[in-house]
Chain A
Amino acid sequence: MYCRGPAAALPALLVLLTLGLLACGGGDGSAGQVDAVLVFGRGSDSVGLDPALETDGESMKVCDNLYENLVTYASGTTEVVPQLAQSWDVSDDGLRWTFHLRTGVRFHDGTPFNADAVLFSLDRQFDQDHPFHKPSAGTYSYWKDMSMDAVVADMRADDDSTFVIELAEANAPFLSNLGMNFCAIVSPSAVRRHGADYFKNPVGTGPFRFVEWRKDERIVLGRNDDYWGEPASLDRLVFKYVQDPSVRFLELRSGAVHGIDNVSPEFIDAIRQDPGLDLLTQPGMNVGYLAMNMERAPFGDVRVRRAVNHAVNKQALVENFYAGLAVAAVNPIPPMMWSYHEDISGYAHDPARARALLSESGLADGFDTELWVMTAPRPYMPQPGKIAQAIQADLAKVNIRARIVTVDWATYLDKTFDGQHGMCLLGWTGDNGDPDNFLYVLLDKTAAVKPAQNVAFYKSEEFHDVLLAGRRSTDVAERTRLYRRAQEIVHADAPWVPLVHATQTAAFRRGVEGFELHPTGSKWFRSVTLRR
């Protein structure tokens, strides 16, 4: 036939191109290379890097390394320890808190750290007349969420190294709140300079400074050589965005990233068996639960709610969907939290008992209901769809016919907070290690106002009174007693099936040392070293 010309040559050209491409590779480029670069792979990019504005964990992870607070949490616990404040005094009535600040500290942009900077950082969230009180997009939602407007009466800088907060009422969780990301101290001059764009030009006092952010690609931090404490060992810290969990795992194995967090249950075994990888775990400060809407029949009847509790096999959920990296929940708060009531044994998995309770309440033939489930995996529930199916099967065994309703996350929040469900799956990750941050937020009657975080619409006067007393007291023994009582009340009323407390996970390549998971989920790389 004719034509031995260009058409035949093209495939050859393609092959040549491909070979050339492969040959280009091999060693990483030498230009612009720095020494100790640690790459951390994660499933989402940060939303922003203004610590007062952000609500997502991926933003916090980066902020953890850029910023510092007056106080922080000790390694492995939620005990409050000094950071930018060296010490503090509290007046006898518990209302005036005087913080004595560290001196000689500078922000990454050279601005000196002092009481005015602290005032600026907190006051912009508090004072409605502050020039930076209205961010151009978003709101200071954590400040509002943690009720800081109601707790704080006044703040002032007495001198360069003395900062005073006057409280409106004694509030036990207040000091813990100061350790949270939203109370991080930002450089006032940087906020003034960048205004609405501060969220991508962050300046703090932390062990790393901001270098660059390529959206949906990577955030690069560099060591702060002028750090007031022991400088970090890493030259660079890169947060790389790799959405797909399988690809993230492959990248860890190939060495393209040094560490990942929120490891998918299906890769746990592979990581354990790989001698080049280390699996880190830490009891999680979270809860995943099934809420029964008490405003809808038949969940107004406590016997029905207890029957549902007896029907669900939590241990099977832990084994099948968490690779064993979770504990079956008994109480709304996790066992690692102070005041946890270990004498409550929980509702045993007992289908016969569940059926008996249903008969007692006149529902011997069971009933039809809905089980709502979100599509998006959450830290406390990595495989929500499968968990819903397992629960559906458990319930079917006691004649509760639950239809699964699956909608996307935005619709889910909208509908469940509006009480349109019979039962729904949801959960919570704690912020500051205080039991109030679980019980009051999720189960108090004040949280049952639509749009409600209390999606069981549980309204108990006794429970409310106990929680209020717990907020007002600053005596830990007294608070412990109150929160144990609160757990007893919730257990008896059974508005939820507390399902699991998921274990936090991270995996690193051998050679990365000094990383510790923290109950709050903070990711601090200050003391991490990279051995090569």
Chain B
Amino acid sequence: MKGFILRRLALLIPTLGGITVAVFLMIYLVPGDPAQVMLGERANAETLAALRQDMGLDQPFHIQLGRFLGDLLTGDLGRSFRTHEKITVEIINRFPATVELTMAAMLFAIVGGVALGMVSAVRRGGMIDYLSMAVATAGISMPVFWLALVLILLFAVALPLLPISGRLSASIYLEAPTGLYVVDSLLAGNLAALGDVLRHLALPAITLGTIPLAVIARMTRSSLLEVLGEDYIRTARAKGLSPLIVLVRHAVRNAFIPTLTVIALEFGYLLGGAIITETIFAWPGIGRWLFLAVMARDFRAVQGGVLLIATLFIVVNLAADVLYAWLDPRIRYSK
């Protein structure tokens, strides 16, 4: 097991190396450069030349790439062309917001999705089954921006219950040592801030969690149905075990492996930021930042962001693989 994990982690290095060069090349080949975007309409020839020189953009491709890779190896992602800030600081500033939103969205998706899936599997063919699968299908098919606008209209305009933008009301001051405002407000013992943070989280988390919820619900239902049809379940029932114990101890644990795969994939995906949700709810996460970096041809920032997301995706999936082995002792990874 240990060897397996180490091997998988070692695989990170060539993967990330390949991604780095590919992204650098892509951004280099696309027309427009960061100097031009920064100056916009006022990019006269002289100023543009000066700025390009300051940014090192006048150097040939191999020198630019070499310099970038050299910096990267020393752990320095450089400064963003667009915002003057160190890329590492940019990521540290925004990643907690993405993590918090992802956690909240996944909590909503897992609790809701597993519950819906279990209920429909157990009551297969009944009203509840049809209803919850209809909800799940709708959840998958709904465009995120549309769902977001419907939620805003419902909970912020028709019933003004929830705030629709940002993470915290302007009137509340909160020290943020971790950047996860839920944790920060608990650390500060500030319950008013905690309530405010949770209220701000609600709509973006529901928006972002709805698709994963639907996917998880369908996956849970189908794998649970399969397991419930197995002989050993019949045996367990025949032994006179209570339906609840049969379901929880024998069926769910085995049915959970495919669901876990889906959860891991969705989780890794959401950690990469969610541009649409972040844009609509003015959520200061990593997705919108990365999008703006691409539009500004801020290739150092794009690199930093892509490296982070690729690493996370690989690590989350590795964690899922490890969990499989724990859930199903039959799965043993070769040394």
Contact = CB atoms under 8 A, between A and B. Distances in A.
A25 B162 contact: yes
Interface string B107-136: 000011011101100110000000000000
Interface stretch (B13-21, B32-40, B260-268): B32-40
Nearest to B79: A137
B166 A242 contact: yes
B198 A451 contact: no
A264 to B, nearest CB: 15
A50 B82 CA distance: 14
A interface bracket (residues with beta carbon within 8 Å of B): 35 or more
Nearest to A429: B41
A31 interface: yes
Contacts of B54: 134-135, 138-139
A47 B82 contact: yes
Contact of B171 (A28, A55, A216): A28
Interface in A1-51: 1-8, 10-11, 13-14, 18, 21-22, 24-25, 28-34, 37, 39, 47-48, 50
B280 A247 contact: yes
Q: Is the interface of B mostly helix, strand, loop or mixed?
A: helix
Interface string B89-122: 0100110010000000000000110111011001
Contacts of A417: 36, 43
Given A5-B247, A47-B83, A218-B170, A22 B42 contact: no
A179 B285 CA distance: 36
Q: Is the interface of A mostly helix, strand, loop or mixed?
A: mixed
B167 interface: yes
Contacts, number: 255
Given A242-B282, A414-B31, A452 B199 contact: no
B114 A10 contact: yes
B5 interface: no
B112 A14 contact: yes
Contacts of A48: 83-84
Interface stretch (B63-71, B188-196, B325-333): B188-196
Contacts of B167: 217
A87 interface: no
A450 B152 CA distance: 47
A477 interface: no
Interface in A447-488: 447, 449-453
Contacts of A136: 79, 84
Given A2-B247, A413-B32, A240 B166 contact: yes
A410 B296 contact: yes
B244 interface: yes
A3 B198 contact: no
Interface stretch (B45-53, B307-315, B316-324): B45-53
Interface in A290-304: none
A251 interface: yes
Interface residues of B, number: 88
A2 B246 contact: yes
A21 B288 contact: no
Interface string A178-212: 00000000000000000010011000000000000
A427 interface: yes
A409 interface: yes
Contacts of A33: 171-172
A251 B164 contact: yes
24 contacts: A5-B247, A10-B111, A21-B195, A22-B162, A25-B161, A31-B173, A32-B173, A47-B83, A55-B38, A200-B85, A215-B85, A216-B93, A240-B166, A250-B164, A407-B31, A408-B32, A408-B295, A409-B295, A410-B31, A412-B32, A413-B36, A449-B45, A453-B41, A453-B43
Interface of A: 1-8, 10-11, 13-14, 18, 21-22, 24-25, 28-34, 37, 39, 47-48, 50, 53, 55-56, 134-139, 141, 144-145, 196, 199-200, 214-218, 238, 240-244, 246-248, 250-251, 254, 256-257, 378, 407-415, 417, 426-429, 441, 447, 449-453
Interface of B: 30-33, 36-48, 50-51, 54-55, 79-85, 90, 93-94, 97, 111-112, 114-116, 118-119, 122-123, 149, 152, 156-157, 160-174, 176, 190-196, 198-199, 202, 242-244, 246-248, 279-282, 284-285, 288-289, 295-297
